[in-house]
Structure 1
Amino acid sequence: MSSTHGASGASAEIPAPGAPISHTEKGTQRFARTALALFAGGFATFALLYCVQPMMPMLSQAFGINAAQSSLILSLSTLTLAVGLLITGPISDAIGRKQVLVVSLLAAAVFTVGSALAPSWEGVLLMRALVGLALSGVAAVAMTYLSEEIHPHHLGLAMGLYIGGNAIGGMSGRLLSGVLVDYLSWHSVLGVMGGLALLAALVLWRFLPESRHFHPRPLRLRGLLQGYTLHFRDAGLPWLFLQGFLLMGSFVTLYNYIGYRLIAEPFHLSQTMIGLLAVLYLSGIYSSAQVGALADRFGRRRVFWLVIALMLAGVALTLFDRLPLVLLGMLLFTFGFFGAHSVASSWIGRRAQQARGQASSLYLFSYYLGSSIAGT
Structure 2
Amino acid sequence: MPAADTGASTTVGADAVTVPAAAPDSRMTPGGPGYRRMSLALFLAGVATFALLYSTQALLPLVSRDFAATASAASWTVSAATGGLALFVLPMSALSERFGRRTVMTASLAVAVAVGLLVPFAPSLSALVVLRAVQGAALAGLPASATAYLAEEVRPGALITAIGLFVAGNSVGGMSGRIITGWVAQGWGWRVAVGTIGVIAVGCAVAFRLLLPAPRHFRAGSLRPRVLARTVRDHLSDPLLGRLYAIGALFMTVFGGVYTVIGYRLTEEPFGLPQGIVGSVFLVYLVGTVSASAAGRLVCRLGRRGALYLAGGTTTAGLLLSLAPSLPSVLLGLVLITAGFFAGHAVASSAVSHTAKRGRAQAAALYQSAYYIGSSTGSAVGAVAFHAGGWGGTVGMGLLAVLGVVTVTLAGSRAARAGRRPLAAA
Q: Give yes or no for contact 1:83–1:133 (8 Å, CA) kept in 2.
A: yes
Which of these residues, 129, 141, 150, is aligned with residue 125 of structure 1?
129
2:186/2:274 contact within 8 Å kept: no
Alignment CA distance shift 1:183-1:82 (3 Å): same
Whether the 8 Å CA contact 2:74–2:125 is kept in 1: the answer is: no
**1:291 match:** 294
Q: Which of 38, 45, 61 is matched with 1:41 structurally?
A: 45
| Unaligned runs of at least 5 residues, structure 1 | 1-15
Which residue does 1:263 correspond to in 2? 267
Q: Deviations over 1:330-373 (max 9, x none)?
A: 11222332333334334333433433332222111111111111
Opposite residue 373 of structure 2, the aligned amino acid is L
Shift of the alpha carbon at 1:144?
3.3
Q: Is the 8 A contact 2:315 2:338 kept in 1?
A: yes
Between the aligned partners of 1:144 and 1:335, the Cα distance in structure 2 is 28
Structure 1 residue 186, shift from structure 2 partner: 2.1
TM superposition shift of 1:46 = 1.1
1:234 counterpart = 2:209: no
1:17–1:332: structure 2 CA closer, same or farther, 3 Å change rule? farther
Larger radius of gyration: 2
Distance change in 2, residues 1:352/1:24 (3 Å): farther
Contact 2:182 2:193 in 1 (8 A): no
Say if 1:156 and 1:293, in contact at 8 Å, map to a contact too. Answer: no
Pick from 80, 83, 87: which aligns with 1:83? 87
What root-mean-square deviation, in Å, do the aligned CA atoms of Structure 1 and Structure 2 show? 2.7
Match of 1:168, as an amino acid? Answer: V
Give the match for residue 189 of structure 1.
193
Aligned residue number for residue 224 of structure 1: 228
Q: Which residue of 1 aligns with 2:207?
A: 203
**Once the 2 structures are TM-superposed, how far is the Cα of residue 32 of structure 1 from its aligned partner?**
3.8
TM-score, normalising length: structure 1: 0.86
Counterparts of 2:192 and 2:343, CA distance in 1? 34
Determine which of 135, 140, 147 is the counterpart of 2:144: 140
- In the alignment, is the contact (CA less than 8 A) between 2:299 and 2:307 conserved in 1? no
Range that drifts further, 55-64 or 340-349: 340-349
Q: Distance in 2 between matches of 1:144 and 1:344?
A: 19
Aligned to 2:253: 249
The one-character-per-residue Cα deviations of 1:48-69 (angstroms, maximum 9, x if unpaired) are 1112012111111111110000
- Which of the residues 113, 119, 130 maps onto 2:117? 113
Shift of 1:21: 3.3
For residues 31-79 of structure 1, the C-alpha deviation after alignment (integer angstroms, 9 at most, x for no partner) is 5444322221221111111120121111111111100000011111111
Q: Distance in 1 between matches of 2:328 and 2:148?
A: 40
Report the AA paired with residue 294 of structure 2: V
Task: Report the Cα offset of residue 232 of structure 1.
Answer: 2.0
Taking CA–CA contacts closer than 8 Å with sequence separation of 6 or more, which of the two structures ends up with the larger relative contact order?
1
The secondary structure found in structure 2 opposite 1:216 is coil
Contact 2:252–2:375 (CA<8 Å) still a contact in 1? yes
Give the 3 Å change call, closer, same or farther, for CA 185–261 of structure 1 in structure 2.
closer
Give 1:56's aligned residue.
Answer: 60
Q: State the distance in 2 between where 1:121 and 1:198 align.
A: 24
SS at match of 1:181: helix
What is the aligned length?
360
Single out whichever of 132-141 and 330-339 deviates more from structure 2.
330-339
Equivalent residue letter for 2:80: L
Task: Note the C-alpha offset of 1:220.
Answer: 1.9
Name the counterpart of 2:72.
68
Counting aligned pairs with the same residue, the percent is: 38
Residue in 1 that maps onto 2:413: none
TM-score, normalising length from structure 2? 0.76
Contact kept, 8 Å, 1:163 with 1:342, in 2: the verdict is no
Equivalent residues of 1:104, 1:136 under 8 A apart:
yes
1:4 matched residue in structure 2: none
| SS class of match (2:271) | coil
Correspondent of 2:174 among 159, 167, 170: 170
Contact 1:82–1:368 (Cα < 8 Å) also in 2 = yes
